Structures are given as C-alpha cells and as structure tokens.
Amino acid sequence: MELPVISNSASDAGGCSSHSCGSTADQINQIPDEILQKVFNHPCYSEDAHHHFARMHVAVAPACNIQCHYCNRKYDCANESRPGVVSELLTPDQAAKKTLVVASEIPQMSVLGIAGPGDPLANPERTFATFQMLSEHAPDIKLCVSTNGLMLPQSVDEIAKHNIDHVTITINCVDPDVGAKIYPWIFWNNKRIMGREGAAILIEQQQKGLEACIAKGILVKVNSVMIPGVNDEHLKEVSRVVKSKGAFLHNVMPLIAEAEHGTFYGLTGQRSPTQDELQALQDACAGDMNMMRHCRQCRADAVGLLGEDRGSEFTLDKIAEYELDLEGAAARRAEVRDRISAELEEKRNAKAEAPAPKLVALDMSGVAVSTPLRTVKMAVATSGGGLINQHFGHAKEFLIYEASGNGVRFVGHRKTDLYCGGGDTCGDTETTLEQTIKALEGCEVVLCSKIGYEPWGMLEEAGIAPNGEHAMEGIEDAVMAVYAEMAAAGKLVPPLDTPVQSAA
C-alpha cells in the first residue's frame, strides 16, 4: 500500500524553518492567478515568500477608536511578542526613515505595514503621511495596513490613492450579540457607544469597508481572534460571509489572554483555545476559505523575516545618523527580488511538471487493512531544508504534521516560547520545558535530531513519544515511517478516546 504525501513543496530555510508551511497545496492554490501575482513577494500572505522576503511594521498609529476585551492600552513590555505591543512610538518622519534604513540594510525587505499599536485609520494623518513619504522614496516597497474597520469605508479612497494594495481587517463577528461580548465600546460620531449598539455599528462598517475595498480592487485579508465560548463556532459563519464578499485569506488566530496583561479576558479568566481547538476551527473554516497557517502574530513594530524580529538592531539613534543611498538600496532590493522570483518561478515550474505527488510507501504487513487507521499528529524539530535536523532543546518552534491513511500533511506550527521571552522576570511559574510540552498538546510523537534525558522523561509522562531515530531524514518520509511503525504495533486501530490497552 502506498500513501501520497499531500503537501510536498521544497523550500529553503528562512525565519520559518518549514519544509512546507501547508498553505501551498490546499490553500494558496485556490487563489486566482492575478492575486497570486500581487502577493508572490509578500511574506505574510505567501507561503513561498515568507522564507525569502522580509517585512516590517512601524508603530506610528497610537490612537484607537474601539476597545477590545483582549487589549489593554496600558500594557507594554520589551519581552512581549504579540500584536498591539510596541516599545517606541514613531513620528511619520522617523517611521519613513526607519523603513528606508531597514530596506537598505535588509535588501529582502518587500513590505511595510502599519498595524498600530492603536488603529491606523484612527490616526489617518500619521498613517497616510508615512505611506506618502514611502511611496515617494521607495516605490518598490509594498504598503499594507491593518485595521479594526471602523473608519475603513471613509478611508478607502485615500488608501487607493497611496497605492496600498493590501488591507487586513480584524473581524471577530458578524452578529452584534456576539460583538457585545468582545467590544465594550466604540467611539463613533463624537460619542462613546457602549455594548451591542456599538458592536452593531462596528460590524456594519467592517462589512461596508470590506465591500468598498474589493470594489476598488484592493486585496483584503481578514483576521479573526478565536475566543472559546464567545465566537469560536460563529467564526465559521464569519469565514463564509467574508469569502463571499471577496476576502482572499482568512487568518484565524488564538486569543492571547493572561491575567498579567490586565485585559478584561485575562482578568475574568477567559481561556485561550488549545492548539487542537484552533486547528480544528482552521480546518472547519478551510472548507470554504483560504486559511493562513504560518501567521506568527507579530508585534506592531516587528522587523525582519517572519518568525524573527530584528527591531532592536534599528534604534532611533542609529536611524537618525544613517546616511541613505536610496538608489543604491533600491537597486540591491531589485536584484534580490529578481533572483528570488526566478528561484520561486523555477520551483513552481518544477512542481507543475512533476508527474505526481511523491509517494511514500507504508509497510502494512501484519495490520488488518479493513480497519480505518486513525489520524496521528506529530511535532517536528527542524532548522530547515525539510529535514529533521534540530535538537529538541534548541527548537523555538515545532512544525506539526498530521499522518493518516491518506498520507501526511502539514497542519501548522507551534511556538515554544509562545509570546513571552521574559523568563523569570515576568513572574511565570512554568518552566520553558513545561511550556513546550503544553504547546505540543495533541501530538503523539515528537521527531528531533537529539533530545536530553530530562525532556525525554517529561514528554513520555505527557503521553508524547520522543523520537530521535530519524535524524537528518526528510520530514514527510520519517513521519510516514513512524506512522507505519505505529500501525504495525497496532496503535492506530482504536479511536482516540479508547484506551490502547483495551484493544490489545
């Protein structure tokens, strides 16, 4: 019996070390060609691109016009890595200069986004002044903006003027009753409007804004925060609605809520979704929507390749002193862009010419084939190249693969350090290892090049089998080999909720 590898594209190491980040075969391919042309070098939208091109956010937009229950405007911490958090507010002049400096130093820079820390469209003068300077001095850099949508309908003409072809709207609901549980107030027509009434206006504006962007030919991605018990089921409806209106990607992200953030959700004990719940919802939404699984929930001042943040290298002092050579930098970016585009094109052609997906043999001897095999999730530690080549303890993230009777597919990535890198100073009682094991919830096997004695024991205790036997092997082949071993050992016959012993 032979099983296909469902998602099988090769790629080089970058900020994300994935061999395939999953969005290729089953998601991005649904996107029409003219949109693919627009996003091919956008690291946040294109799976291929995020290994090669860098992006940055500039924090020029401090004001916000709504309150979300997962946000606390008082909170700022250099160790935090999550949306809405920044270390330093920039003026438009500083932001433009910083972007030009970064784009000189990192020629892979292709995208500049404004995402906060408030709402960019609640700070229209600062936001559009920044865009104006950049479209003048570095017209090759793509501009994008991320908004809560309240002021989007009024801003669409201005957005189109600045040649911003990518807009992200955070849409957590299309039902005001759900919205009332997420948004305590909005500021609208010179008044603060509380509760359901405010949520209804916000929802109406978001949908109008989405439609207006699509009508102008502006690409729209939709972000949603998954809040268990509040909007988790509802997001399937959101997915249907936004896709029917023309959004090209839907990015479902997990709620980040800890008491120490001081947010409503954090303090009232609203839990975040588990990794399994998130994936299940992403799967459910993927049926009628392009999903985005390599999103890293960046800070509003992140710099570099996705999955890395080089923001600390570019301090205001350094930026102020830096002497720009705009033409030289633009030429270097063009060279890098052409080289990477050619490589990606070559890769795409190779894939198109490939006769069939690569097949991985599964040794089914000794297994009753009539019984359907259950699905198994495995975590992989890799530093790139599509190989199992990273020590367990060095992995900053794990790639999650799902093996089943149909083959193996990439389903997402999981960070080990989550969003806090502060260690002891943040008062977290969990050790890094405990956090890592929690992040691997739902996985039955972890594949790595090597693993220490202590984590080995703790993983086993958590019901996750450590496996270092496939070091330096290709990920998909190794995952299928382990799956075959499990099948041969009779571990795949009983459904998940039945204890293995009872079937033995």
Binding site for another protein (CB under 8 A): 62-65, 67, 69, 73-74, 89, 118, 122-123, 125, 184-185, 187, 190-192, 259-260, 262-264, 267-268, 425, 427
CB of 211 to another protein, least distance (A): 27
For another protein, the closer CB: 31 or 64:
64
CB of 425 to another protein, least distance (A): 7
For another protein, the closer CB: 163 or 268:
268
CB of 190 to another protein, least distance (A): 5
Tell me 120's DSSP state.
G
For another protein, the closer CB: 124 or 385:
124
CB of 126 to another protein, least distance (A): 8
CA angle 425, 426, 430 (to 5 degrees): 105
Q: Residue 49 corresponds to which tokens in the numbers above? A: 């691109």
For another protein, the closer CB: 161 or 192:
192
Phi, psi dihedral angles at 406 (to 5 degrees): -90, -10
What pairing do the DSSP bridges indicate for beta strands 2-4 and 142-147? unpaired
CB of 87 to another protein, least distance (A): 13
For another protein, the closer CB: 188 or 419:
188
Q: How far apart are CA 114 and CA 60, in angstroms?
A: 7
Grouping H, G, I as helix, E, B as strand and the rest as coil, residue 110 is: strand
Q: Amino acid identity of 433?
A: L
For another protein, the closer CB: 246 or 422:
422
CB of 111 to another protein, least distance (A): 25
CB of 218 to another protein, least distance (A): 25
Across the beta sheet with 219-226, what order do the strands follow? 249-254, 219-226, 166-170, 142-147, 109-114, 54-57, 303-304
For another protein, the closer CB: 40 or 70:
70
Q: How far apart are CA 270 and CA 353, in angstroms?
A: 49
Question: Position of tokens 């009332």?
Answer: 180
Q: How far apart are CA 131 and CA 65, in angstroms?
A: 21
For another protein, the closer CB: 7 or 123:
123
CB of 342 to another protein, least distance (A): 44
Task: Give the number of other Cβ atoms within 10 Å of residue 136's Cβ.
Answer: 9
CB of 146 to another protein, least distance (A): 17
Q: How far apart are CA 213 and CA 38, in angstroms?
A: 15
Task: Give the number of other Cβ atoms within 10 Å of residue 361's Cβ.
Answer: 12
CB of 86 to another protein, least distance (A): 11
β-sheet bridge partners, residue 111: 55, 142
Distances 483 to 57, 375, 400, 492, 502 between C-alpha atoms, Å: 41, 9, 14, 8, 20
For another protein, the closer CB: 151 or 482:
151
For another protein, the closer CB: 72 or 416:
72
Q: 275-286 vs 234-244: helix axis angle to the nearest 10?
A: 40
Phi, psi dihedral angles at 136 (to 5 degrees): -80, -45
CB 90 within 8 A of CB 98: yes
For another protein, the closer CB: 199 or 242:
199
Please list, in sequence order, all residues whose beta carbon lies within 8 angstroms of the beta carbon of residue 257, skipping any fewer than 6 positions away.
70, 263, 265, 266, 270, 271, 272
CB of 57 to another protein, least distance (A): 17
Length of the chain: 504
CA angle 40, 413, 254 (to 5 degrees): 95
CB of 73 to another protein, least distance (A): 5
Alpha-helical regions (H) of 371-461 = 432-439, 453-461
Q: Amino acid identity of 75?
A: Y
For another protein, the closer CB: 267 or 458:
267
Q: How far apart are CA 318 and CA 175, in angstroms?
A: 47
